[in-house]
Amino acid sequence: MDKTFRIGEIADFFNIPSSTLRYWNDKGVLKSKKNIENNYREYDFMDLIEISDVIFYKTLGIPLKQITSIENMELKEYKELFELHKISLFNELELLNKRIEKLKKHQSAIDEVIRLKDSGIKYGSIDIDTICGFELTEINKISLYISDPSLYIRVHDSDNLKYEKRGIIIESFNNEDIIWKKRTDKYAIFLMKEEVSEKWENNLCEYINKIKEDYNTGKILSRFLCRASENGKIFDFYKCYVEII
């Protein structure tokens, strides 16, 4: 007679909770029998094989309801189940890859904040050609922002910091939508931090005054990087580009 095992032994062997084995029995996935003398459920060699099969299908992500009916499937149905599940997994993989890319972009934005904090004012070029207006009522642009918050950018005038337009980095839908176009190759670049509070105070004016000591300036582009806490206060961090005219 084959050796039999108690539920606790099986649970330890497969490293799964005893409650999971009971649930599988209740749902008809397993067919282990109870000892009529002590009313304890016992598992033999074939039960171990059955449990191994269930775990195999679970690792593939197949729902328990489908696992229950697998043994009653004909080969054609069996093949179709796996084909459909494979398609589902590829769709999940595509979604995961998109999430990973979004995560990488956000990590890059955080790294950029850290780098700019120690660099002061630098001078260089910009990788943006066109900025379009951005209103909260524009669903297509909101979707773009959700996909990548660093596409959000504010346009100021260095001679009038009260002038501000919200924008997003995309190709224009029409010429009226454009609020900024690249017109120079030299920019002053620095990190602006703006306190998230009623007054929304920032250090933009401090940098602009310093740059104006040596250069004529045009528009200011403030590209959102991230929001974070610093010394107990919450700030929005922007990478700023100031046109050098």
What pLDDT digit, counting tens, does each position of 50-87 carry?
999 999 999 999 999 899 888 889 999 999 999 999 99
With 0-12 / 13-18 / 19 or more C-beta atoms within 10 angstroms meaning exposed / middle / buried, residue 149 is middle
Tokens representing 152 are 């959000």
For residues 77, 79, 84, 88, the Cα torsion angle rounded to the nearest 10 degrees is: 140
- Model pTM score: 0.75
Residue among 189, 104, 95 at smallest CA distance from 148: 104
Q: How far apart are CA 62 and CA 54, in angstroms?
A: 10
Give the CA distances from residue 212 to residues 49, 134, 244, 245, in Å, rounded to whole numbers and listed in that order: 78, 29, 9, 11
Q: Mean pLDDT lowest for which of 2-6, 19-23, 120-124, 203-207?
A: 2-6
- Range name among 56-60, 120-124, 144-148 with the lowest pLDDT average: 144-148
Longest dimension (CA), the chain: 95
Tokens 């260095």 map to which residue? 158
pLDDT (mean) for 143-149: 88
The pLDDT of residue 1 is above 60: no
pLDDT of residue 5: 86
- Rounded to whole angstroms, how far apart are CA atoms 153 and 221? 7
In the beta sheet, which residues pair with residue 181? 130
* Parallel, antiparallel or unpaired: strands 160-168 and 33-34: unpaired
Q: For position 37, what pLDDT does the model report?
A: 67
Beta-bridge partner residues of 164: 156
Q: Which tokens in the block code for residue 8?
A: 């606790």
Look over the chain and give the mean of its residue pLDDT values, rounded to a whole number: 91
